[in-house]
Amino acid sequence: MLPNLITKSITLEDGREIIIETGALAKQADGSVVVRMGKAMLLATVVSKTEAGEGVDFLPLSVDYQEKFAASGKIPGGFLKREGRLSDYEILISRLVDRAIRPIFPDDYHADTQVAITLMSFDENVLPDALAGLAASAALAVSNIPFNGPISEVRVAKIDGKLIINPSPVDLEKASLEFIVAGSLEYILMVEGEANEISEDEMVEALQYAHEEIKRHCQAQIELTKLVGKEKKREYNHEKSDSALYDKMKAELYDKLYAAVSKQIANKSERSELVKAIKEEFVESLGEEHGFEASLIGPYFHKIHKEAARNLTLNEKKRLDGRKLDEIRPIWSVVDYLPSAHGSAIFTRGETQSITTCTLGTKMDEQMIDGAVISGYNKFFLHYNFPGFSTGEVKPNRGPGRREVGHGNLAMRALKKVLPSENENPYTIRVVSDILESNGSSSMATVCAGSLALMDAGVQIKAPVTGIAMGMISDAKTGKYSILSDILGDEDHLGDMDFKVTGTEQGITACQMDLKVEGLDYSVLKEALYQAKEGRLHILKEISNTLAAPKPDLKPHTPRSFMMWIPKELIGAVIGPGGKVIQEIQKDTATTIVIEEIDNQGKINIFSANQANMDAAIRRVKAIVAQPEIGETYTGKVKNIQPFGAFVEFMPGKDGLLHISEIKWERLESMDGVLEPGEEIMVKLIDVDKKTGKFKLSRKALLPKPEKPAVKE
């Protein structure tokens, strides 16, 4: 007997349909749905424990998005032939969903919660990342888990001047902007994307357009919740409370903490020590038999400290470190710091510092991508590392976490928009940012250092890119708000918005926004964007004092590149049987040679850090691909001798017949003793047989013609 399916559909403006169904799969989960669009199908499930763990005062939420290889008819590569750890692509989609739904859970809900989203079927015309947020929210909507949703995510792109929701991959290649936007019925929650140096107004227009579609998705989920009868959510009590303790702490500590933050101490550790001393003094004053819930002292202290810091900014327009709201911390930067790197830079802003390198490699260094949905090669990648010492912590190095993957991806998207085109750039480019200090927006420091390192390496980027992290503190009751430029780590924690925006002097190239407060007026968002622009231009001026444009040439130790095009039919001649010819050239000249077939032509790139070796390889390749020309003279090598003449290799891989009659002006009766195999001789190409393509050579044409003997009278 078939299960009773409950479905809800959403029709996009171009007629495409998204269908949400529940009631058939994964029924033991607290909530499960299947979201369909075309042939694409995502299964989303959510499970949450009923009780919080002992002493847990936060939401232990995990979000995992995974793509099954069978969804696209593939078998995984590697030895095990099964899905393994999440790829960077899957981690990035998991983060998009996590950042959208995490702030929507009730603040006092602390039960372990897991959201799993699985791509079960793939459609080449549908990008599944734009459906993952909707699937996760719909699974929560049909569960009894407390959730202040629903929410949804869409991709908005501008293609040929028109805004489109959830475009196909083919159409997306033509987009001048593309953002994943998450939101609820009332407001936007999360934004991440990239653009071709667009204006602030153009970005706001795209977000507003996306939000209108999101509202329709949310309304469909509300109706779905009613259909499955899950309007009432489970009851819970995950937080201890001690009102007497809180009242006592508020009365005794608020003024002290307000006075502490009012000192506006610039140094992060000194600020922390001052606040820590206030807490320790209070704990000591309680004595051992105080009778309060000791586990609540820390959370209550943090709450009061946060309130004091927020009020300082809202009421007095002051910041923790003494800066004005739109003031950028002091900046210094250098390039060419690492003599052996192809390009390097240090960028320091306040207590945040990145040392970044740029390495130029060949096609052999391209990153191979083998995913269920995305496969191919990547010529530009950026890696971001965040060691424990950057924040004065002891932390084992266990490889990049989700945060590192996300920050690196944001910086990569910001910089890739200014890279030279593939025809102009033969190199595989790897940028690596190692964070040496961190107190606010190390990802934006990576963008700035990355620009400098690329320019130091001699990569001819269109324009330098800089980035800035913006914050906001607001009070819904009073309507007060303060927009902060270049936020500190502490300001990130106590604020209501974390908004990173990158761009050139011409416009925005990438952005990432997370909101922690309900409702953000678009006028405020536009104000934040224009304040961010001022900050970006200030930072651009600072790094331009170090290096304003790409260096005109590569470093001496960087591999040079020479590119040439050859007829498609000559590719095999350069490669040789089993790769023998090209391998021999590379071995003899110590170069790297890459051959590709592009647009029915052969493209050859030769790489070497030594010009003499490069020239030798170029000569060898040109000799192979050179086309024989009638009337040209060549140095040939005798390959074998026949009674009627000799076969001579006059160009690599090209033999011609030197007939016995073309060796000398004098008549030769036989080939005995005339030429020897291996002998080098000068020959002239005198003809090419139009039917067979065979070459006819002459040696006598290069010899002076004997004079005729005088006629006796």
* Residues of each annotated binding site: 492, 498
Whole-angstrom Cα distance, residue 217 to residue 183?
Answer: 10
Whole-angstrom Cα distance, residue 436 to residue 408?
Answer: 15
**Which of the 8 DSSP states describes residue 464?**
-
Among candidates 542, 511, 520, which has minimal Cα distance to 199?
Answer: 511
Residue type, 368: M
Contact 149/141 with Cβ under 8 angstroms?
A: yes
Paired tokens of 682:
């000068």
How many beta carbons lie within 10 A of that of residue 204, not counting itself?
Answer: 15
Q: Quote the longest CA-to-CA distance of the chain.
A: 147
Whole-angstrom Cα distance, residue 568 to residue 598?
Answer: 9
3-state secondary structure of 165: strand
Rounded to 5 degrees, φ, ψ at 672 are: -60, 125
Among candidates 526, 344, 303, which has minimal Cα distance to 433?
Answer: 344
Q: Which residues are annotated as a binding site for Mg(2+)?
A: 492, 498
Among candidates 104, 132, 121, 142, which has minimal Cα distance to 68?
Answer: 121
Sign (positive or negative) of CA dihedral 19, 25, 26, 31: positive
Contact 82/76 with Cβ under 8 angstroms?
A: yes
Whole-angstrom Cα distance, residue 600 to residue 577?
Answer: 21
Whole-angstrom Cα distance, residue 191 to residue 173?
Answer: 20
Residue pointed to by tokens 């909507």 = 141
CA distances (Å), 631 to each of 88, 679, 694, 702, in order?
60, 22, 15, 11
Whole-angstrom Cα distance, residue 202 to residue 193?
Answer: 13
Cross-strand partners of 653 = none
